[in-house]
């Protein structure tokens, strides 16, 4: 195998590694988004009286404020 072939093989191997890492990051990101969506579904605004359907805090509850990166203490 000459130098060019070795370099091409090394580059293909690196590209495959980067693609696998990208796919793993995408899967991890999608799962994180799905988890946030599940939390938001649990902590929703009551339709009649103001407050959270799950924790009964005034709306928006501390969980939703934390997800929205607002001060929640």
Q: Can residue 17 be called a binding residue for Zn ion (CB under 5 A)?
A: no
Binder among 54, 65, 67, 72 for Zn ion (CB under 5 A): 54
CB neighbour list of residue 63: distance below 8 Å, 6 or more residues apart: 39, 43, 52, 54, 55, 72
- Give least dist CB 18 to Zn ion, A: 40
- Give least dist CB 72 to Zn ion, A: 11
Task: Please classify residue 43 by burial: count the beta carbons closer than 10 Å to its beta carbon, then call 0-12 exposed, 13-18 middle and 19+ buried.
Answer: buried
Binder among 44, 51, 63, 67 for Zn ion (CB under 5 A): 63
């Amino acid at each position: 195998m000459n130098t060019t072939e070795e370099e091409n093989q090394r580059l293909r191997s690196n590209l495959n590694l980067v693609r696998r890492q990208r796919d793993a990051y995408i899967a991890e990101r999608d799962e994180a988004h799905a988890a946030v969506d599940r939390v938001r579904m649990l902590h929703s605004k009551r339709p009649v009286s103001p407050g959270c359907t799950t924790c009964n805090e005034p709306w928006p509850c501390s969980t939703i404020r934390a997800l929205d990166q607002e001060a929640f203490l």
